């Protein structure tokens, strides 16, 4: 690295600065005297009010405040002693909600109308990881209708509540489309697969 | 300078090529929108409920079906309604096809074929009703139940023959009998023995009272090694004596758990 040479003040420049400083003091004194000798002028009426109005705090809409609040960064600090009760509460909530979820999933109520017939769909499928049912009762969408595996067996079961009528359905076993292997009535779906037919009559509600 | 001229020339060529294409695309889009609007209007005028039309349009939008294809599907629902056929099985088939990502053209073909099958079924059912001097109308449920057997292994010829041979029984009983016949055919049951079961059931009005579990019991018995002949004899005996499906099950050694009851 290159060493920088220290700057040395020029004696002539120092003198000129001092001379300027003296001139400046004189000017200031002259201005002070002029101001002191000026006549007193009354301020215009309403000056105070207009000044106060312009500096008065304006009300900001709620959404702007919320937006500003949301955008402003926050620092969160915690310690594990304070975090423990929150974690316990979360675990308890999940533990309580799980049976409720299982119950709802195992007994999907697709239609709230009266006169529903409980229908249990069951199938033995060893080695399957997931079994869903898609059909005309759920718009051929598998999400709300997954079968539950009975503990210690290869039997997958789902109970539906359906109105009397004619339905077609199929299983999605690990994503693969297949009709009910034990159904008494299957038919071509017209698209290269087979669907199982479920004809529910009022006498079936027994 | 020369480079600038070349660039301007290229830009002019691209614009000249792109502008008509854009205009064509806009014209096409307007034509498709117009076709869809016409199809919706036609379907509504034919009596297709608004809720059904909305359901189909929402389904098409959700699954990214081309508006032109959707217009055709909606138009077909109007045709079905105009032809006096039950709408539900057709709408269900559209929903199923779209949900299964079947090309719209295949769904259209299927709907047209289905329309013909339903019209055929309606005509032979009307002939059956006329032959036996039944006054009541064919209900949509009965028509659907009979027509759909054509996709379960029965041919038009099978259906015609059954209708011609069947005695005067209520249509819902005939529908059950036809479905049992289709199930037995699917199960590979001996056709001659199957015919005997069906004709005996019709003579004794067996399926007017019950049917639940009958075919499942037959399938379970066959799995256990009971022969078709033994099953048929037990079935005929049950039907002639006014027995029940439960009694039939005991005769062929099938328990209620075997048939999932």
- The most confident of A39-43, A44-48, A78-82, B180-184, by mean pLDDT: B180-184
* Lowest mean per-residue pLDDT among A89-93, B72-76, B194-198: A89-93
- With an 8 Å Cβ cutoff, is B102 touching chain A? yes
Q: Do A122 and B141 touch (CB under 8 A)?
A: no
List Cα–Cα distances, B103 to A186, B69, B74, in angstroms: 23, 9, 15
Look at residue A169 and give its three-state secondary structure. Answer: strand
Better-scored residue on pLDDT, B228 or B205: B228
Better-scored residue on pLDDT, B118 or B206: B118
- Return the pLDDT at A60: 74
Q: Do B97 and A199 touch (CB under 8 A)?
A: no
Give chain A's domains with CATH numbers.
Answer: 106-204 (2.60.40.10)
Look at residue B118 and give its three-state secondary structure. Answer: helix
Task: Tell me the nearest-neighbour CA distance from B209 into chain A, angstroms.
Answer: 9
Pairing mode, if any, of strands A165-173 and A131-135?
antiparallel
Which of B116, B151, B153, B179 is the best substitution to test chain A (most A C-beta atoms within 10 A)?
Answer: B151
How far is residue B25's CA from residue A106's CA, in Å, rounded to a whole number? 50
Q: Which two tokens stand for residue B195?
A: 């015919």
**Residue B42's pLDDT band (boundaries 50, 70, 90)?**
very high
Average pLDDT, chain A: 75
**Residue B52's pLDDT band (boundaries 50, 70, 90)?**
very high
Which residues of chain A are within 8 Å of residue B99 when distances are taken between CB atoms?
134, 139-141
- Return the CA Rg of chain A: 43
- With an 8 Å Cβ cutoff, is A169 touching chain B? no
Look at residue B80 and give its three-state secondary structure. Answer: helix
**Residue B22's pLDDT band (boundaries 50, 70, 90)?**
low
pLDDT exceeds 70 at position A50: yes
- Return the pLDDT at B26: 62
ipTM of the complex: 0.78
pLDDT exceeds 50 at position B28: yes
Number of helical H runs and strand E runs in chain B: 13, 0
How far is residue A100's CA from residue A118's CA, in Å, rounded to a whole number? 19
- Return the pLDDT at A165: 87
- Average pLDDT (A96-121) is 60
- Return the pLDDT at B109: 96
- Return the pLDDT at A102: 46
Closest residue of A to B104, CA-based?
A: A191
Reference B184, options B153, B230, B156, B223; nearest CA is B153
How far is residue A96's CA from residue A115's CA, in Å, rounded to a whole number? 31
- With an 8 Å Cβ cutoff, is A184 touching chain B? yes
Better-scored residue on pLDDT, B71 or A43: B71
pLDDT exceeds 90 at position A105: no
Which residues of chain A are within 8 Å of residue B260 when distances are taken between CB atoms?
120, 122, 182
- With an 8 Å Cβ cutoff, is B217 touching chain A? no
Percent of chain B scoring above 70 in pLDDT: 87
- Return the pLDDT at A46: 79
- Average pLDDT (B210-232) is 89
Query: Which of B44-80 are b and which e, b meaning 16 or more Cβ less than 10 Å from the residue's Cβ?
Result: bebebeeebbeebbebbeeeebeeebbbbbbbbbbbb
Q: Do A197 and B95 touch (CB under 8 A)?
A: no
pLDDT exceeds 60 at position B227: yes
State pLDDT tens for residues A144-173. 777 888 777 888 888 888 988 889 999 999
Look at residue A178 and give its three-state secondary structure. Answer: strand
- Return the pLDDT at A31: 85
Better-scored residue on pLDDT, A181 or B98: B98
How far is residue A172's CA from residue A167's CA, in Å, rounded to a whole number? 16
Reference B200, options B158, B238, B251; nearest CA is B238
- Average pLDDT (A66-72) is 81
Residue B171 near residue B204 (C-beta atoms within 8 A): no
- Return the pLDDT at B261: 54
B 73-92 residues with CB below 8 A of A? Answer: 92
Q: Do A186 and B152 touch (CB under 8 A)?
A: yes
Phi and psi for B58 in degrees, rounded to 5? Answer: -65, -40
Which residues of chain A are within 8 Å of residue B182 when distances are taken between CB atoms?
185
- Return the pLDDT at B31: 74
State pLDDT tens for residues B68-91. 999 999 999 999 999 999 999 999
Q: Do B179 and A199 touch (CB under 8 A)?
A: yes
Q: Do B93 and A188 touch (CB under 8 A)?
A: no
pTM of the full structure: 0.67
How far is residue B162's CA from residue B180's CA, in Å, rounded to a whole number? 12
- Average pLDDT (A116-134) is 87
């Amino acid at each position: 690295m290159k060493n920088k040479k220290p700057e040395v003040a020029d004696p002539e420049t120092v003198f000129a600065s001092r001379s300027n400083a003296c001139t400046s003091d004189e000017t200031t004194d002259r201005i002070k005297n002029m101001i002191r000798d000026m006549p007193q002028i009354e301020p215009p009426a309403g000056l105070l009010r207009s000044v106060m109005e312009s500096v008065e705090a304006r009300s900001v809409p709620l959404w702007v405040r919320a937006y500003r609040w949301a955008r402003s960064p926050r620092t969160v600090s915690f310690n594990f002693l304070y975090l423990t009760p929150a974690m316990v509460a979360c675990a308890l909530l999940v533990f309580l909600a799980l049976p409720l979820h299982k119950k709802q999933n195992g007994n999907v109520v697709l239609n709230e109308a009266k006169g529903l017939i409980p229908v249990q769909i069951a199938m033995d499928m060893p080695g399957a990881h997931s079994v869903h049912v898609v059909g005309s009762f759920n718009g051929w969408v598998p999400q709300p209708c997954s079968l539950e595996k009975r503990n210690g067996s290869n039997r997958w079961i789902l109970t539906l509540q359906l109105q009397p009528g004619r339905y077609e359905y199929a299983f999605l076993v690990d994503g693969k489309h297949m009709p009910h292997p034990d159904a008494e009535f299957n038919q071509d779906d017209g698209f290269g697969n087979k669907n199982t037919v479920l004809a529910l009559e009022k006498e079936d509600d027994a | 300078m020369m480079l600038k001229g070349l660039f301007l020339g290229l830009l002019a060529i691209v614009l000249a090529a792109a502008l008509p294409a854009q205009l064509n695309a806009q014209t096409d889009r307007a034509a498709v929108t117009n076709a869809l609007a016409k199809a919706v209007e036609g379907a509504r005028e034919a009596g297709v409920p608004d809720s059904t039309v909305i359901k189909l349009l929402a389904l098409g939008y959700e699954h990214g079906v081309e508006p032109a294809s959707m217009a055709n599907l909606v138009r077909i629902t109007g045709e079905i309604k105009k032809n006096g056929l039950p709408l539900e099985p057709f709408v269900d088939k559209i929903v199923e096809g779209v949900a299964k990502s079947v090309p719209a053209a295949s769904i259209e073909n299927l709907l047209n074929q289905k329309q013909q099958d339903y019209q055929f079924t309606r005509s032979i059912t009307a002939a059956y009703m006329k032959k036996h001097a039944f006054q009541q109308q064919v209900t949509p449920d009965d028509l659907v139940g009979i027509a759909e057997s054509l996709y379960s292994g029965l041919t038009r010829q099978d259906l015609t023959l059954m209708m011609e041979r069947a005695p005067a029984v209520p249509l819902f009983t005939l529908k059950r009998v036809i479905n049992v016949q289709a199930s037995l055919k699917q199960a590979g049951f001996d056709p001659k023995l199957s015919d005997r079961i069906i004709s005996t059931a019709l003579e004794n009005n067996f399926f007017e009272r019950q049917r639940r579990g009958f075919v499942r019991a037959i399938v379970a018995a066959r799995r256990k090694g009971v022969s078709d002949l033994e099953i048929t004899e037990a079935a005929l005996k049950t039907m002639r004596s006014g027995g029940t499906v439960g009694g039939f099950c005991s005769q062929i050694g099938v328990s209620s758990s075997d048939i999932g009851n």
